[in-house]
Amino acid sequence: MKGVGVAVLVAVLALSVVALPLAGASSWDDNHGRIAAVFTSTNNATANQIVAYEATPGGSLNWVGYFSTGGAGTGSALGDSGSLALGQGDHWLLAVDAGSNQVSVFQVKLGHHVPLLTLTDVTSSGGVLPVSVTISENVVYVLNDGNSTTAGNIAGFYLGWNGQLYPISGSSEPLSASAATGAAQISFSPGGNFLVVTEKATNLIDVYTVNWAGVASGPTSYASSGLTPYGFAFAGRHNLVVSEAHQPAVSSYSLTRYAGLQLVSASISDLQSAPCWVAVTENGRTAYISNTASDSVSTFSVSRDGSLTLLHSVAASTGAGPADSALANGGQVLYVYDGGAGEIQVFQSQPGGGLGWIQTVGGLPVGAEGLIAT
């Protein structure tokens, strides 16, 4: 616990709740123009690194550099979603180091047209094989998939004002079973009251409640509408859009404190193969689904009650094996990481859910993981 006692942890929590970004941290350049960035990780089995790009106002990318996480990846795909997370106004970047069972924290300073990352902490993930991470205000949770001898779990941390992670006492909770669950993604609900986890092998969606101190309890496990629930994203405060890699289809749910997780749209096919990653626009009305086996992106409209309607089975063709995606510019730009091609493709959103190609940036290593945009 880094030598931090209970009293110190309470003090850290109090400080962190009102913590401001470090001095000088800004997402605006000196001319008051918006500076944006896109990040992925190499997932290198010897030394994991973050790959940083500057994003122009139109969405195109310029490579900036590599930043060591201080941990190790696995060198191969994790079968996950959400291995990177941005928090507190995009001033902190968190990354899983799956090969060394750690989590890394960077301060993000955007300005002078160069995204800068400063490593502030590398700590144990609280389990084995971390595959996904999420943050709400100053509370961080990591999803550990586990292995043949250690069960998977979730583990919570406080993110201090100095970029250090402090374990939350009593926050470690199991997944639905001690056997392999194929854990894929963890994410806070928009209000921070719930944590949601998808389990590919058990076809379950786990829901944990989170109290005022950031301590999770649960899970309550719900049967997925379709086989292999994988990536997901919230559409508005209560609606959840989940991909089903085996169907292939997408389902939606409503999540509330009193009703729990309730199915809204059941396994709507996108007529593609292996839909895995989900990105939803800020207004919660359009969902983009990356189809790994058919090298495409599909789009769905999302109604206010969370029901889904397929707009385009193929809104865009991608390079080989699209393996993650991220939205930027208020949902006007979609970035897609093509794992099989080692590239990031940039698309412009169009009326009616279409996508127009902008750029392809190559040179990523085999096994790279995660994609996130400020």
pLDDT in tens, 261-318: 999 999 999 999 999 999 999 999 999 999 999 999 999 999 999 999 999 999 999 9
* pLDDT > 50? residue 27: no
Q: What pLDDT does residue 24 have?
A: 32
pTM metric for this prediction: 0.91
Residue with tokens 């169009």: 350
Q: How far is CA 167 from CA 12, 191, 240, 364, in A?
A: 11, 21, 28, 33
CA torsion 44-147-144-129 (nearest 10°) is -10
Which band of pLDDT confidence, cut at 50, 70 and 90, is reported for residue 145? very high
pLDDT tens per residue across span 332-342 = 999 999 999 99
* pLDDT > 90? residue 114: no
* pLDDT > 60? residue 245: yes
Which band of pLDDT confidence, cut at 50, 70 and 90, is reported for residue 19? very low
CA distance 301 to 281: 10
Q: Considering only the top CATH level, what class is 6-373?
A: mainly beta
Q: What pLDDT does residue 110 have?
A: 82
Which band of pLDDT confidence, cut at 50, 70 and 90, is reported for residue 111? confident
Residue 22 per-residue DSSP state: P
